[in-house]
Structure formats: structure tokens, C-alpha cells
Structure 1
């Protein structure tokens, strides 16, 4: 009963607009105080923030965020889009295909969905508008492509899940590669189906494709960032270094590439460091609050009781996992990815593990679930970002993203039914 009351207090605080980190921390501290008294609460409160901030795995986030900030400063997103467009210009819907592939490429060096959506909105949408694309299609595609950052490493959401769950962070990040690539295929196929059903959504391009030598030369401009991604992933995959060490290499590499492009100055360096500090501090505080609340749940034995009760239900484990994912999809309509993870992982992960599911697979499924939430009304963070950058009404973006969201829902069913999609690459790492 106490756990229910404290949980209701938590949601009430969130509903009142209290920042998530403080709502979690206050609710958790109150619960620990009511169960164990003031001294245990004070002891945990004074040690948890320090130990959380010093968590080795958590250092991965500021390094990857810094890498992404340097990549944005370098202007590689615009060059990546222009390069892919030069190679896909002769294809029907080539600009849309370029948007999907650019989103995947940018996601491989930027773990933030919001940053990916904003960058793509300022890069791809003006081109699609100039070439006569339907704006609902253009903005909807851009909004959902930005969500690929939730799965393709270095995905901040996967790192947060790894810290909360204790799963092997290297295997978790590698596990997102194949599902992310399949997500690219799903979005591309959906785009082609929409165009074939309604050719008026796009206008055929009349500008010629650049000569082969020009296109090859354009590839050389994005080669350094491509190599940087391969090095970061390779370091983790082959066990050369930890994800934290790989992230530090990525940040240094992105800094050197940005400097080599003559895009680095004191102002841009300051902005990159400030943005990194702000994002990292926010995530650290939220995780600290989540650990405080999780400690209360452990003391109250609410998690153990719920796990035992659900595990004893006379039904298939697949029915239970389907219900859990349905609840997360519903919550994703009202919460961002970080809130969804910190509020649900401590409660649902023990249930999933007891049912015999792999926690790494569960992390990838959660990433895809949160992807869908980023484009689902009424919150739909990516939809609002793209609508603001494109100057398009939000309801139009929601209508444009709807068919792509349906396709990703079907993909979620497939990924849930076939765990090997996510577990094959991490399984090879074990050997």
C-alpha cells in the first residue's frame, strides 16, 4: 500500500511540473524515511549522488554527447546529405531516401534523437520543399527518421538503460546496429509504397546527376566521420576497449576532424562544452533520482511482490511481455525517452528477466518503443521539433508521420517475436 501511495505522489509531482529528477528523489527519500527512518534515508541520500556521478559507464554519455556536438559544428550533416543525394538523385523519391540514409548516418555519430531531428529538419526539408515534395510527407519522414538515434549507437537511451539495468554496455550498443539498419529499410520501403500509391506526393527532379568523379570526390568529404564511427564501433565490438574508452576516442576524433575542417573556434568550443555539461548533468540527476526511488521500491519489496505475482500468472510469457510493451507505448505518448526508462525499467526489468527474456534484447525493444513514442500524439517531441524548424502546423506533421509510425509498430512486433535480430551480433562478441 505504501508503494502505491508513494508512486501516486511521484506522478502527482510530475503532473505539477516538478522536474523529473527532483520528483523521483523526493518520492524515494520520503518512502525510505517512512520505512527505515531518517538515518538510512540520510545515508543513502548523501552517498548516491556521488557514486552515481562517478559511475564509470555513465561517463560514456558526456563523451558521446561531446562527439555529437563537434559533429554538428563541423557541418558534416549537410555534406552527408548532399553526398547521398548526389548518388540517389536518379531514383524515384531520391530526396526521401537521402533523408533516411542521412538520418541513419548522422545517428551513428549523434545519440540524441532531438538533435538528429533538428539537424535533418534544417538540412533535408528545405530541399524537399524546393523540389515539390508534399510537406506532410517530408516533415513526417524527417520526424521519424530522427528517432533512429534511439537504436543506432551511440544511443543515449541505450546507455541510460545499461546503467539502470546493469547490462553489458558494449553488447547493448552493438545490439542496436542490426535493428537500426532494418529500421532504415522499413522506412525506405514505406516511403516507396506511399509514393507508388500516390505519385503526386513528390515531383520528378529535372536537375542532372553529377558526374561519377564528382560523386566520388564528394564521398571523400564524409569519409573521416565514417571512419570515426567504424573505429568507435570496432573498439567496442572487438574488445579493444570499453564503451567509455571508445566514446572518449570518438570525442577526440570529432574534435580533430572539426579543427581540420576549420570549423572550430573559441565560441563553438564553448557552446559544445556548455551543451555537453547541461545534457550530462540532466541525465545524471535523473538517474540519481531513479536510483533513490528504486531503493525505496526494494525496501518496500514492491518489485519482488509484483515480479512474483506476475510470474505466477497462468498465461504465456509472450502475453505478459505484450502487455508490458503496450503499457510502455501508452506511457510513451506522454513521456520522453529518459522519463520512460527511469520510471519503468526498475519495475519491469525483474519481471522480464524472471520470464526468461534477455535484458539486452529488452533494451533494444524498449528503444524501438520509445522511438514510436517520440512521434505519437499528444507529446511527440520530434514532431514539434520538425514542425517548428519547417514552419509547418503540428497536426500536418502528425498526419504525415502516421503511416511511418504504423510501419514501425509492425516492425516492433517482428523484433519482439524474433529476439535473434538484436542478439546475433552481441552473441558473436562472446566468441
Structure 2
């Protein structure tokens, strides 16, 4: 299979996506048709065992558990109390409650693993308060959309699980690698809010917020304990080698259920809603992943990876230039595709190319997730933009959220370039784990 054939196949898949065909159907059709044309019907018969094998993949068992964890925190009210506890500490900073949007998103991301869930949860809690206090709609919505993207970078992350499965890379290493970049990106977002508020103050900042007494703030801080403990259970058990990612996810669900029971909110209707929603989301994700593995059979047997590697190597690009080109490629792709589709379509082809260039697969996993984050806030298909606009109560123009998100997209691009120049930001902590 030549590089030209791979490009033609990839283009055909993009055309089918533009025609709004389901992603899983597109990948199965491409894999089956392409495999039949190259190898005949015997290859098609091998697709069944491949799909069965994916559904029995041990790593992917963690996906429904982390999704269930996010649903439990979202629907039990723990996220609401967490936001209130953070707000009383950030309210006097330049930017006020906008810092709370980022901080609460980062903390919720450390337990939910979902970008959309993070943006929807924090947006639902914070937007009424922000609008009541007269905060700029674009700044408020932009901070929520950008804060939500932290859900797929700060571990545990469903997208890192998918990458690890597709790239056959250690999930534990990927989770550990996401901690420092996730915290740094959170700080950069908050630094931008502070600088923007000092240079161009929001009218809401002219009204000095009431600061609760220290005793009251410390009392509210108890609501931060559940998400912090859940994060420590997940990452601590993996880092210390006590549990696999799947086992750590199960432990986290048990701890979350204990906290919900102690708060008096555990009920059969709550569990029924959480289990049903988790099953729907898991079914969608695993269907796409199974379709991706079926497509990968055709790509692997056809030598697509080797052809692409040879083609890219013929340009004589350095690793830095290759990554800069990939940033532009993912930026454009993210404008038209959802995150999961970007991952399953590009990773099997890109991974052999970057491996040949000497780029660490763990580092590349964080790079891909950052590019997926970027796709979440770039129009016209940026999912977080629509999620935040959807929870908005005043139904203002969609341009507000796009305008507010653009600076954060630029920060992500600059941050990715920083990671290219200083890869130790990603690789230092996993090296300590080894």
C-alpha cells in the first residue's frame, strides 16, 4: 500500500464524515472495503475475532468505570459544593470567579476524566452567579469552555485510556505524564485571567466581593476533600504499583459511593440514572474503538504505516518540524471532527511516523490529548463551545463563547510548543515512576 493510497483512503473517510455518516460505520466500511480490494474476502472473515478481542481488552474495562465515576460526582451534588468551596478563596483575585471556573474545572477533571462533563457541570453551577454579578459573557463562557478541556488532560482521562489502548502504551505512565502539564496549563489559564483583568478590567471587578471570615472558608473547604481523596486513590494506587488503572477506577467508584452515602444522597434513582448514562456513553466509545481496530487490521497488513513513515522521512524533517506540522494538521482537523474520531483515525498512522523520528510515545500521548483539547474549543465543531452555550441561561449569541475561547486556544498552542522545546515537563514524572 502506497502513501498515496493511504491519503486517498483518509480523504474518503473525511468526505463521509462531512456527509454525516456515523464514525464507526465509516471506519468499518473503509476497513472492510479496503481490505477486500487488497486481500480478498479472507481478511473480512478475520474482522469478527478482532472486534471480539477489543471488547475483551482488559485496559478498556477502565473506560466505563471512569465514566461512571464522573456521572456519580456530577449527579450527586458533590461538584456543586466543590465550586462553592473554591469560590470563597478565589473571589478577591484579579478576575474573581473566573479563577474559580478554571480551578473547579481542574479539580473536577481530576475525578471525572471527561471534558464535556466538566464543562457542563461547572457551567451549570457558575453561570447564574457570573451573570448575576455582571461578568462579561465572553470572558465567563470562554473560561468555562477552556477549563472543561482540562478533563481530558488531567488524569484520570478517558482519552488517555483510548490512546494507550491504540498505541499499546502504559496507561499508568500516561496518567502520571499528564499531571505536570495539566497543572501548568491550569496555572497559565489563571495567569491569563489575572493579566487580562488588570490590563482591561471587567465592570464586575469594580464591585468588591465580600470575603468570608477565615473560619467560614475553612469550614467550606471540607467539600474539597472528596475529589482530592478520589484523585489520590486513583493516582496513588497506580504510582505505588498497588493497582492497575482498571482496579484504581473501581476503587475510586467505591470511594465516591461512600462519600455520596455519607452525604445522604445515595438512592436507587440516582444509581439508575448514572448506570444508564454510563452504559450509553461506554457503548458509543467502545463501538468506535472496535471499528478503529478493524480498520487498523487493513492498515497494518497493507503496510500503510511503513508507507507513510517512508514518505514522511523522504522530506528530511527534524522531529521539531514534524511536530509543528502536526500542530497545524490537528488544528485544522479539530475544526471539523470530534475528539474521539481524531484519535482513532490519526494515531495508528501517526504513531509509527513519530516513533521513527525518535519521539517518546508517552510524550506523544500528551501531545495528542492537547491537540484534542484544542479541537474542543475551535469552531465550528468544538464540542465544549456548544456545551457551554447550551447551559447558558440568557441565550445570548454564540459568538460570545467563540470570542472568549480564542485566547485560550492560543495559549494551548504556545504551551504545546513549550512542551516540544522542553519535553522533560512531560517525561520527568514518569521517569521517577520507573
Contact 1:73/1:263 (CA < 8 Å) preserved in 2?
A: no
Q: In the alignment, which residue of structure 2 is the partner of 1:211?
A: 213
Q: Structure 1 residues 38 and 257 mapped into 2: Cα distance closer, same or farther (>3 Å)?
A: same
The one of 324, 327, 338 aligned to 1:325: 327
Distance, in Å, in 2 between the alignment partners of 1:409 and 1:272 is: 35
Task: For structure 1, list consecutive stretches of 5 or more residues without a partner in the other structure.
Answer: none
Q: In the alignment, which residue of structure 1 is the partner of 2:160?
A: 158
TM-score, normalization by structure 1: 0.96
Q: In the alignment, which residue of structure 2 is the partner of 1:135?
A: 137
Q: In the alignment, which residue of structure 2 is the partner of 1:415?
A: 419
Post-superposition shift, 1:240? 1.0
Tell me which moved more, 76-85 or 200-209. Answer: 200-209
Please say if 1:394 is aligned against 2:398. Answer: yes
Post-superposition shift, 1:181? 0.3
Contact 1:195/1:202 (CA < 8 Å) preserved in 2?
A: no
Deviations 1:124-151 (A, max 9, x none): 1111111121111111111111000120
TM-score, normalization by structure 2: 0.96
**Aligned to 1:347, what secondary structure does the other structure show?**
helix
Contact 1:80/1:102 (CA < 8 Å) preserved in 2?
A: yes
Distance, in Å, in 1 between the alignment partners of 2:346 and 2:286 is: 17
Q: In the alignment, which residue of structure 2 is the partner of 1:340?
A: 342
Distance, in Å, in 2 between the alignment partners of 1:199 and 1:3 is: 51
Deviations 1:144-182 (A, max 9, x none): 110001200111111111110001110101110100000
Task: For structure 2, list consecutive stretches of 5 or more residues without a partner in the other structure.
Answer: none
Contact 1:92/1:204 (CA < 8 Å) preserved in 2?
A: no
Post-superposition shift, 1:208? 2.3
The one of 8, 13, 25 aligned to 2:16: 13
Tell me which moved more, 30-39 or 131-140. Answer: 30-39
Post-superposition shift, 1:4? 4.4
Q: In the alignment, which residue of structure 1 is the partner of 2:227?
A: 225
Q: In the alignment, which residue of structure 2 is the partner of 1:118?
A: 120
Deviations 1:33-65 (A, max 9, x none): 1222212211x2211121101100001111101
Alignment of 1:9-88 (within 5 A): 9-42=12-45, 44-88=46-90
CA RMSD between the two structures: 1.4
The one of 89, 96, 100 aligned to 2:102: 100
Post-superposition shift, 1:191? 0.6
Contact 2:110/2:227 (CA < 8 Å) preserved in 1?
A: no
How many residues end up aligned between the 2 structures?
429
